[in-house]
Structure formats: C-alpha cells, structure tokens
Amino acid sequence: MNNEMTSSEKMVTTNNIISDLKSILKLKVLIANILPVFTAFWLAIYITGSSFTEHLGLFLLTMIGSTLIVAGALLFNNWYEVDLDKEMLRTKSRPTVTGNFSLQAVFRTAVALTVLGLILMLFTTIEAAVYAFLGWFVYVVLYTVWSKRRYTLNTVIGSLSGAFTPLIGWAAIEPAFHIVPIVLFMMLFIWQIPHTFAIAIKRHDEYKAAGVPMLPVVHGIAFTKRQILVYIACLFPLPFFLSMFGSIFIVIATLLNVGFLYLAIRGFYTNNELKWAQQIFIYSLVYLIAFFLVMIIASLLV
C-alpha cells in the first residue's frame, strides 16, 4: 500500500490550509484594518515633512505590530464565537467549526500574536501602542465578549474598535492630536456602521437563528435602512476638514458620499432587500479603498 501523497493530493492539502487560514484570519477584514494604519502613517510623514526612507524601520515595526494585534483579535473572535459560527451558513466552514484547527491552538496563537504585536508596537511610540491595545480591547472584550450577544449597540461598539487604526499609524510618527487622524477616526467609525448593517440585513435569517441581536433582527429592516441613511449623511462634512489635500480630494470624497447616499435612498424603493444590501456592502468597500487611495495620491500632488 502506497502511503505517500501524490502531488495533486499535496496541492489539495496546501490549498485547504491556505483557505482555512484566510477564513480564520478574516483576510478581508484584516486588510481593511491595516489600510488605515498605512494611510495615516504615510499622511503623517507628508504633514510633518519627514522622509519615508528615514522612517522605514519604524514603518515596518508599525505595520507588522499592528497586523499581528489585529490578527490576534480576529483569532480571539473566532475562538470565542465558535458556537455562533456553527449556526450561520457563512461561518460553518471555518476551521474552528470543522475541527481543522483546535480551539486550544487558536487561543494560544491569538495570545502569542497579540503579545508579540504589542511588544513590537512599544518599539514605535507609547501612544501608538496604547491605541493598538485600545482597538484590541474594544473588539475582543467590549464587542466580542460583552455586547455582541446582548445589545443591538454591538455594531457601534465594534465600529469604535476599527476606528483606532488611523490613530495607530499617525501616532507612530507624532502625537495624534491633529485634525487629519481625528477626522479619519470619525470617518472609519461612521463608515463601519452602515457597512455592518448591510451585512446584518444580508444575513438577517442567520443572525436570527443564532440569536444575535443585530439591529434588523430586533428592530426590523425598515428601521435599519433609516439608520444607514442617517450615518451615511454624517459622512458628508468630513472631507471639508481635510482641505489641506486640495479641492480635487474634496470633490472626489463628496462624490463618493453622494453615491453612498444615493444607494441608501434606493433602499426605500426596492423590492429586493438582499440585493440592495449586497450593493451597499460592495460600495462601502469600494468607498473605503477609494477614500484612502485618493488621500495618498493627493498628498503626493499637493
């Protein structure tokens, strides 16, 4: 009997491992959290007139440290919510549910990544390390453990966690008491709420079956649509506080907000709420990437 794996079997095994890692680390969420760190670091370099090459070591410490901390927080979330993941279609294939990764291994890895990430962040600035820890604490303790299974405000609390990321990147260069990181903090906090509400509408039945008190489950989809509209409207003033990036940036950011608001208003006239929620979800991702990329490009052109 041949006990050796064929090349095709090895390929399948490797692909399965990669797929499991992407799932448990929530790769898209991880990237969405690290992009603001990079953007804020870059903008702090621009505003202070510093040289990126002179801060290359600091940049690597900031990016690696923050990535490890975010990854640690996401692993803690997977470890703690394995019972909920079993009840939801989109999470049933996570390795913590299938047993491909043991819960003990996931927990230990989460601790190790968090501790290592915080140690690396301490080699940047104390302020940046504090923001990184606060983001981790809000997501793991206040969101995952305390509020998600109890209150509809879990979305607001979870959004606060992600909003710390630009403060991390900026504070690695200089104190974050500056209009740019403050506006980015506010933008991310506000942006995440309609983004998450769209997911909650898409997965309404799954959240209801799992007993998670998401806003559309508790107060209905119509109420959630109104909340999405309100939060998107709150994004409109923010680009005007960033006039140092030029009028082109303000125009593009405002157009992004107009598109977001237009989609939100369409939600009141649609017969296909799942399709509409998917459109809001996709647009919100495009919005986030475009907003930060335009800021980076504007800093190069101004």
Q: Angle, nearest 10°, between helix axes 27-48 and 56-80?
A: 150
- CB contact set of 231 (below 8 Å; sequence gap of 6+): 190, 193, 194
Question: In the prediction, which pLDDT does 1 show?
Answer: 47
Question: In the prediction, which pLDDT does 90 show?
Answer: 74
Tokens of 204: 């309404």
Question: In the prediction, which pLDDT does 89 show?
Answer: 73
Helices (H), the chain: 7-24, 27-48, 56-80, 82-85, 95-98, 103-122, 126-137, 154-163, 165-171, 179-202, 204-210, 215-219, 221-233, 247-266, 273-301
What percent of the chain is modeled with pLDDT above 90?
Answer: 80
Q: Which residue has the higher pLDDT, 89 or 81?
A: 81
Mean pLDDT value of segment 134-155: 96
Report the C-alpha gap between 95 and 201 in whole angstroms. 25
Residue 11 has pLDDT above 60, yes or no: no
Residue 237 has pLDDT above 90, yes or no: yes
Residue 8 has pLDDT above 80, yes or no: no
Report the C-alpha gap between 70 and 85 in whole angstroms. 20
Residue 10 has pLDDT above 70, yes or no: no
If pLDDT is split at 50, 70 and 90, which confidence band does 97 have? Answer: confident
Report the C-alpha gap between 84 and 203 in whole angstroms. 13
Mark 235-252 as b/e (b = at least 16 C-beta within 10 Å): beebbeebeebeeebbeb
What are the sequence ranges of the domains in the chain? 25-301
Long-range CB contacts for residues 143-149, cutoff 8 Å, separation at least 24: 144/76, 144/77, 144/80, 144/81, 145/80, 148/81, 148/212, 149/84, 149/211, 149/212, 149/213
- The DSSP letter of residue 178 is S
Residue 14 has pLDDT above 80, yes or no: no
* CATH level 3 topology of 25-301: Farnesyl Diphosphate Synthase (1.10.600)
Length of the chain in residues, anyone? 302
Question: In the prediction, which pLDDT does 4 show?
Answer: 56
Residue 177 has pLDDT above 70, yes or no: yes
Tokens of 1: 């009997």
Residue 241 has pLDDT above 60, yes or no: yes
Q: Tokens 């082109």 appear where?
A: 248
Closest CA to 285 of 264, 256, 265: 256
Report the C-alpha gap between 137 and 19 in whole angstroms. 27
Residue 22 has pLDDT above 90, yes or no: no
Identify the weakest region by mean pLDDT among 67-76, 85-94, 171-180, 280-289: 85-94
User: Over 98-138, what HEC string results?
Assistant: HCCCCHHHHHHHHHHHHHHHHHHHHCCCHHHHHHHHHHHHH
Which residue type does 298 have? Answer: A
If pLDDT is split at 50, 70 and 90, which confidence band does 16 have? Answer: low
pLDDT per position as a tens digit, 98-124: 888 889 999 999 999 999 999 999 999
Mean pLDDT value of segment 263-272: 94
Q: Tokens 């929620």 appear where?
A: 277
CA atoms within 13 A on the CB side of 54: 7
Phi, psi dihedrals of residue 44, rounded to the nearest 5°: -65, -40
- CB contact set of 75 (below 8 Å; sequence gap of 6+): 24, 25, 106, 107, 109, 110, 113
Question: In the prediction, which pLDDT does 2 show?
Answer: 53
Identify the weakest region by mean pLDDT among 37-41, 69-73, 86-90, 218-222: 86-90
What percent of the chain is modeled with pLDDT above 70?
Answer: 94
Mean per-residue pLDDT of the chain: 92
